[in-house]
Structure 1
Amino acid sequence: MNRKYMAEPYKIKVVEPIAMSTQEERTAAIKRAGYNTFLLKSKEVYIDLLTDSGTSAMSDNQWAGMQIGDEAYAGSINFYHLEEAVRELYGFKYVVPTHQGRGAENILSKIAIKPGDYVPGNMYFTTTRAHQEMAGATFRDIIIDEAHDPQSEHPFKGNIDLNKLQALIDEVGAERIPYICLAVTVNLAGGQPVSMQNMREVKQLASKYGIKVMFDATRCIENAFFIKEREEGYQDKSIREIVKEMFSYADGATMSGKKDCLVNIGGFLALNDEELYQKATQLVVVYEGMPSYGGLAGRDMEAMARGMYESVDYYYIKHRVEQVRYLGERLIEAGVPIVKPIGGHAVFLDARAFLPHIPQDQFPAQMLAAKLYEISGVRSMERGIVSAGRNKEGQHHFPKLELVRLTIPRRVYTYAHMDVVADAVIELYKQRDSIPGLKMVYEPPVLRFFTARFEPLK
């Protein structure tokens, strides 16, 4: 089939050879890894779609910036460049650098949550919920119902259900809700965006009760692109204008710079409240470093500041989203079940529909990711019952979505690589009836998906 796609809005200056392996070698490798793709060595992987976190290719401008890293222990010039970028592009008053997004999640949870609180959000994310729960809070999912339906074509499946939010306020009281955690986009729903209207309405309702709104801003640029593409009144707005308005409906944000800031390490907590900021600067010294470096080298802050400006370029983000969409559309044409609409950072295989003969407690998504690696060398990751973990009673959480995430790093792979991935998934779909389930043979107490080990059922 003759396919047309947008050419890369960049040229390749440096190349990195990638490993080729035989299926026999991969069968041995995935067995050694306990059928957990996180435990594979990178040298054993051909096309690495495990995550888009910290796996982007930096630009020549970012690499040049790293050469002017000011590694002063306090008051680095690169911190002020980062602070300026956050204020100009996102509109927040205060910036606390962290080594990555989960460092910001940890600090926010400790300064804002008290035991017995509830934190509502538009679907959980693994580390975010873990930090909230360790601080003594209970997470409550208030995303719209369509987000749990992989076949729903709702254009903004990341939206918060205002009725669910109001019901929680009525149930527990506003004083027990320190903030609403609003992710833009929603990773575990399939990279689904939140509409500007929903952000505005959430902020209005929260303000009525004195509740803060904190964005998980990790993929905010992708969210802005979907608003420009899908929401009435935004087609003629620039990505920069849309991003600025988005954050006007937030009191703060946690940011993993390893995604939409186009760097390999780094993040920050951004705030408007001076009292919260002062508390954050006290804790960042304990967990990260000085408030003007927060666990980062000066060169990393410089690269992140420059990456933030690059990320709001329309042609960059258009190519990024369309490359993901290309892979998803190839799979849809072949009848492979995926989450719709196709998200901004990944294509999510619907493991329930792909492997309907495997019960959820036999980890179909985990096995699907393992088998995809075995037949092709493509590394993906499970986003289902293993990632969901266990409740306070020790029972599995059983999420409605049982997914495998094919996550596309930014500015790294070509459309030819996407064709290799698509061909491998389609071939595996033809073999789906012969794929068995798994049993878990090792499980850590927290965030088990990183290091759990499995064996195939006979």
Structure 2
Amino acid sequence: MNYVSCKSSELPFAENYKIKMVQRIYRSTRQQRQKWVEEAHYNLFNLRSDQVFIDLLTDSGTGSMSDTQWAAMMIGDESYAGSDSYHVLHQVVSNIFGFDYVLPTHQGRAAENVLFSVLVKSGDFVPGNSFFDTTRGHIEYRNGKAVDCTISEAFNTTIEHPFKGNIDLKKLETVMSMYSKKHIPMIIVTITCNTLGGQPVSMENLREVKKVAEKYGVRVIYDSCRFAENAYFIKTREDGYRDVTIREIVREMFSYADGMTMSGKKDGLVNIGGFIALREKSLFDECSYFIIMFEGFTTYGGMSGRDMNAMAVGLEEVTTFEYLENRIKQVAFLGKKLQDYGIPLQLPIGGHAVYIDAKRFLPNVPKEEYVAQTLGVELYVEAGVRGVEVGTLMADRDPETKENRYPEVEFLRLAVPRRVYTNDHMHYVVIALKNIFHRRREIIHGFSIVKEAPILRHFTIQLEKISR
């Protein structure tokens, strides 16, 4: 047998953890999957988890916790008020992000609900970078308008721009100058920008956005659920940061923000939980009223003490280069293998997921028939792999015209859970997509809507297959 020799400096990359427990997953037949997806009304959210072989629906709350996190859970303090676990979490959040005021919530959308209940009112305009579904939903539910100010390069999936999550400062200035300060409660910066492919925001852009905000006297709030992945890309892509630690980069990033919402289910490395962190005592006090109304007492919010302990450890673990390198290299592995087969992706590959450009993948499916959802269903039937549509269904209808909003790019997102799957699983996904890509021109029809909710419809929508 021949072996490839290499010097010690050329040893291949390997994860710096070992697997301690496994869970069986069921490998179904194509006939079973066809039946199940029909029964689910072609909504992949309606599938049971045991009907899915590899689940890339989301990276939210689906990761594996470390032994240190599990150990921390055993000493969680479940006191209703003044929990020691709250103070542990508060100290970690303050140390990492630099905010003095912290309110736990049960997840990120709960943090948005509380904060936006204070800040957003009817007729407001909230500029930002390609809002994700719940963020836009919470703004529009309050009769506000989310205004996308993302750079134009982000919508061309073939361009290798290193920071496609950046806010276009000219677009931002236009919005800020067009409306009165009293109708712009905040600027929201999502790091990384999920809707556009897990794309990062540069430190320079964060700095300049803060300058614009200060000019007009408006707060900057970060949607921070993948903040550590954003810091990794700043370290590896932005001039001047290669020798700066992840912790130092994070601290500078958040020095340009007035507050943050956080889903701990992503870069908190936990299965449930989140928080709001703020600089202003007065805003903290106002949010506290809504925390008590919607979530729980201020020192536990929507979380148990054990989960606060686990998130505190997770925030420490996620802000190390070693963890981030493992995480992001697996996502890159999936993306690069897909590229080898010519499958069109959002480039560069993001931090938490690979985003397939569904319109380029399925050129014969009309946009009115939900292209990315069509590809998602094809992938599930082909191989039992579940992704999620980030396209017209997720974009919802325009609140005024009630017409479909057609985003510039239709994505099928393959979100990789943290520390869950091996690269063999990723290779399985690649081959499944390769098979579909070879017959892509035979796929000419998608779906029509049978039933939908008035907001955030993609979670519960019912579809029927078009065949004519």
- Determine whether 1:267 maps to 2:274: yes
Aligned partner of residue 296 in structure 2, secondary structure: coil
| Structure 1: gaps (5+ residues) | none
- Determine whether 1:441 maps to 2:460: no
What CA distance in whole angstroms lies between the structure 1 residues aligned with 2:108 and 2:135?
A: 9
Aligned partner of residue 34 in structure 2, secondary structure: helix
1:343 to 343, 346, 350: 350
The 8 Å contact of residues 101 and 257 in structure 1, kept in 2 or not, is answered as yes
What CA distance in whole angstroms lies between the structure 2 residues aligned with 1:347 and 1:152?
A: 15
2:406 to 375, 398, 405: 398
Equivalent position of 1:188 in the other structure: 195
What CA distance in whole angstroms lies between the structure 1 residues aligned with 2:137 and 2:394?
A: 11
Aligned partner of residue 189 in structure 2, secondary structure: strand
What CA distance in whole angstroms lies between the structure 1 residues aligned with 2:378 and 2:48?
A: 16
- Determine whether 1:136 maps to 2:146: no
Q: Partner amino acid for 1:424?
A: A
Deviations 1:247-286 (A, max 9, x none): 0000000000000010000000110011100001111000
Deviations 1:206-225 (A, max 9, x none): 01111000000010000000
What CA distance in whole angstroms lies between the structure 2 residues aligned with 1:324 and 1:224?
A: 16
Equivalent position of 1:296 in the other structure: 303
Pairwise mapping of residues 238-249 of structure 1 onto structure 2 (< 5 A)?
238-249=245-256
Aligned partner of residue 268 in structure 1, secondary structure: strand
Aligned partner of residue 289 in structure 2, secondary structure: helix
Structure 1 residue 401 displacement after superposition: 1.0
Runs of 4+, deviation exceeding 3 Å: none
Q: Partner amino acid for 2:427?
A: D
- Determine whether 1:330 maps to 2:337: yes
Range that drifts further, 52-61 or 445-454: 445-454
Equivalent position of 2:37 in the other structure: 30
Deviations 1:35-55 (A, max 9, x none): 111110000000000000000
Equivalent position of 2:462 in the other structure: 453
Deviations 1:316-350 (A, max 9, x none): 10111110011100111110011100000000110
Aligned partner of residue 95 in structure 1, secondary structure: strand
Q: Partner amino acid for 2:253?
A: M
| Structure 2: gaps (5+ residues) | 5-10
Pairwise mapping of residues 13-28 of structure 1 onto structure 2 (< 5 A)?
13-28=20-35
Q: Partner amino acid for 2:417?
A: P
- Determine whether 1:358 maps to 2:365: yes
Q: TM-score, normalised by structure 2?
A: 0.96
2:79 to 72, 81, 95: 72
The 8 Å contact of residues 439 and 455 in structure 1, kept in 2 or not, is answered as yes
The 8 Å contact of residues 185 and 191 in structure 1, kept in 2 or not, is answered as yes
The 8 Å contact of residues 153 and 340 in structure 1, kept in 2 or not, is answered as yes
Structure 1 residue 174 displacement after superposition: 2.4
Equivalent position of 1:422 in the other structure: 430
Q: Partner amino acid for 1:410?
A: R
What CA distance in whole angstroms lies between the structure 2 residues aligned with 1:343 and 1:111?
A: 32
Deviations 1:39-92 (A, max 9, x none): 100000000000000001000000011111111110110000000010001111
Q: TM-score, normalised by structure 1?
A: 0.98
What CA distance in whole angstroms lies between the structure 2 residues aligned with 1:135 and 1:79?
A: 30
The 8 Å contact of residues 380 and 407 in structure 1, kept in 2 or not, is answered as yes
What CA distance in whole angstroms lies between the structure 2 residues aligned with 1:145 and 1:433?
A: 29
What CA distance in whole angstroms lies between the structure 1 residues aligned with 2:421 and 2:55?
A: 9
Equivalent position of 1:319 in the other structure: 326
Equivalent position of 2:8 in the other structure: none
What CA distance in whole angstroms lies between the structure 2 residues aligned with 1:369 and 1:108?
A: 33
Structure 1 residue 14 displacement after superposition: 0.8
Equivalent position of 1:97 in the other structure: 104
What CA distance in whole angstroms lies between the structure 1 residues aligned with 2:153 and 2:26?
A: 40
The 8 Å contact of residues 6 and 322 in structure 1, kept in 2 or not, is answered as no
Equivalent position of 1:225 in the other structure: 232
Equivalent position of 1:407 in the other structure: 415
Structure 1 residue 244 displacement after superposition: 0.7
- Determine whether 1:280 maps to 2:287: yes
Equivalent position of 1:112 in the other structure: 119
The 8 Å contact of residues 56 and 410 in structure 1, kept in 2 or not, is answered as yes
CA RMSD, Structure 1 to Structure 2 (Å):
1.0
- Determine whether 1:87 maps to 2:94: yes
Structure 1 residue 172 displacement after superposition: 1.1
Aligned partner of residue 191 in structure 1, secondary structure: coil
The 8 Å contact of residues 114 and 137 in structure 1, kept in 2 or not, is answered as yes
What CA distance in whole angstroms lies between the structure 2 residues aligned with 1:7 and 1:46?
A: 25
Structure 1 residue 5 displacement after superposition: 5.9
Aligned partner of residue 68 in structure 1, secondary structure: coil
| Shift in alpha-carbon separation, 1:335–1:273, aligned structure 2, 3 A | same
Q: Partner amino acid for 1:402?
A: E
Deviations 1:336-370 (A, max 9, x none): 01110000000011000011111111011101101
Aligned partner of residue 236 in structure 1, secondary structure: coil
Q: Partner amino acid for 2:456?
A: L
What CA distance in whole angstroms lies between the structure 2 residues aligned with 1:306 and 1:138?
A: 37
Aligned partner of residue 398 in structure 1, secondary structure: coil
Structure 1 residue 454 displacement after superposition: 1.2
